[in-house]
Structure formats: C-alpha cells, structure tokens
Amino acid sequence: MKKAKPKYLNVRNYLKQQIQQGTYNPGDFILSENELCRQFSITRTTVRKALDELIKEGFIERIHGKGSRVKERRHTLGLLNVKGFSEAVGEGVNTKFLQLPFQTFWSDEIILPVSEEDKNEGCIYFERLRFVGNTPVMLEKNWFPDTAVPGFPQKEFIDGSFFKTLSQRYLIEIVGSTQEIRSEFAGEKHARLFGIENTSPLLHISIKFLSSNPKLTIYSELYCDTSVYPVGNSYYL
C-alpha cells in the first residue's frame, strides 16, 4: 500500500502552486494560519511546518503581527551577469530571439559535461540576444532535455522570461548552478551581433542550471560584451 503523503506537504504544495501560478503576487499575504487549519482540517503545528518549508524555499516571509507575505523571489545563483540587466527588466531590457525553441541534438558547443542520461534524450534549443536599451550585451544559448518539459514550447514566454515560464507554467524552480568563466576574442558572428571589431574581448560564461525537477538540467552558454556595461554578481529570476 502506498504511504500517504504527510499533511504539511499538501499545504505546502497547494500554497506553492498558488504563488507560482500568480494567484498570490509578491507583497500579498496568504491565508492565515487559522484559515489554513479550517480549510485543510489540520492542526496549527502542521500548518506552521508547511509555512516553515515555504520560508526555507524563499517563497514567503513572516511579518510579525500580520501573517505570512509572499516574497519577491530573487535568488542569487552565483552567476556573473550584466550589471543592472535584471533590475531593468520591463524598463530598459529587450530580447530578440535568434532561434525560437525547437527540438534538435546536443551540441559540442556546450562546455560543462552533459550527463549520460541527458545525452540519451533529444534536446530543445533556443538562442536569444539580450539588449540594454539598443545596446546588445549578451548572446544566450540554451539546451535542455526535450522529455523534461512535455509540450514545450506551447506558448510565448511569460513576460519574456524563461525561468518565470518554467515556474508559473510548469511549476519548476531553478535551485542551483555550476559555472565556468573564460575570456575569448570575438569571432565574426559575435562581432557582427554585438557591433564590435573582430578579436574584441568577450566574456564567455558556461552554466549548468539545476532545477526542482530532477529530469531538467539546463545547459547555457553566455557571451557578454562588457565594453559598455560591466558585470555584477547578482542574478534575478
């Protein structure tokens, strides 16, 4: 007989899904402990255990005397990125797809080792050029197993964000990353995209993103022109 899931996990999963799907937005207060006790017919101790889990995962914070409030989920992943890039989303950042997501094969361009399990699957690839204002600052290439997110892509990205789409549409969160950083000279393609001279310096960042879905690992190669915008050490989802 299959063992029943602990009651606190039912509450955690319910609230987590509500937050991921946008029923609760950053700054909103979720149901009170008393309301959750009544809705799920559980004890206050069970409710608090569920809320503690959401606090650990960075979804909510307790406000003394008021309740539990949804946090602005900004997780630092140790990724060096263009300074001000994420903070300016919706204000000064633009994105141009150079290749819409499509099913293909794994590429030798991926620097960090692709797992044998992933190699046995097909992959989805997409490529984007990111701008601050009219200035191209980052070429972004992404690969991930095509079986990890069934039906991807079905619609446009939510607010132009890949990670936000994974969170709200597929309930998948990015939980960590491994990265390598190197400097390179721009080849002909990169020089043309960034509007710079051949052999101009570029920052090349290779990243392997881990997610809350054990079947989904995202392999990214980022090429950054830092001649106008420096890099910082914060990455906002």
- Structure confidence at residue 234 as a pLDDT band (50, 70, 90): very low
Q: Are residues 46 and 99 in the same domain?
A: no
For the chain, how many structural domains are there in total? Answer: 2
Per DSSP, the three-state class of 53 is helix
Pair 161, 87 in one domain: yes
Q: Based on the domain organization, do 62 and 103 belong to the same domain?
A: no
Taking 80 as the threshold, does the pLDDT of residue 147 lie above it?
Answer: yes
**Which of 6-10, 138-142, 229-233: highest mean pLDDT?**
138-142
The amino acid occupying position 184 is E
Domain that holds residue 64: 7-70
Clarify whether residues 127 and 224 are in a common domain: yes
Which residue, among 126, 116, 110, 137, has the nearest Cα to 208 in the 3D structure?
A: 110
Domain-terminating residue out of 50, 70, 90: 70
The verdict on 140 and 50 lying in the same domain is no
Residue 237 located in a structural domain: no
Which helix (H) or strand (E) segment holds residue 96: the answer is: strand 93-104
pLDDT at 76 over 50: no
Higher local confidence (pLDDT), 84 or 204: 204
CATH number at residue 50: 1.10.10.10
**Residue percentage of the chain with pLDDT more than 90:** 54
Query: Which of 19, 48, 70 corresponds to the end of one domain?
Result: 70
Strand, coil or helix: 136: strand
Residues 206 and 97 grouped into a single domain? yes
The pLDDT of residue 124 is above 50:
yes
Strand extents, DSSP E, 118-233: 123-132, 135-145, 174-185, 201-211, 217-224, 231-232
Coil vs helix vs strand at 120: coil
Query: How much is the pLDDT for 81?
Result: 47
* Domain co-membership, 224 together with 140: yes
**pLDDT tens-digit map of 169-226:** 888 888 888 889 999 999 999 999 999 998 899 999 999 999 989 999 999 999 999 8
pLDDT at residue 65 is higher than 80: yes
- Find residue 27's DSSP bridge partners: none
126 and 177 housed in the same domain: yes
Question: Would you place residue 83 in the very low, low, confident or very high pLDDT band (cuts 50, 70, 90)?
Answer: very low
In 3-state terms the chain splits into helix, strand, coil percentages (rounded to 5) of 25, 35, 45
Both tokens assigned to 154 = 């079905």
Q: What is the CATH number of the domain that holds 176?
A: 3.40.1410.10
Say if 75 falls within a structural domain.
no
Provide the pLDDT for residue 209: 92
Domain match, 86 and 123 both: yes
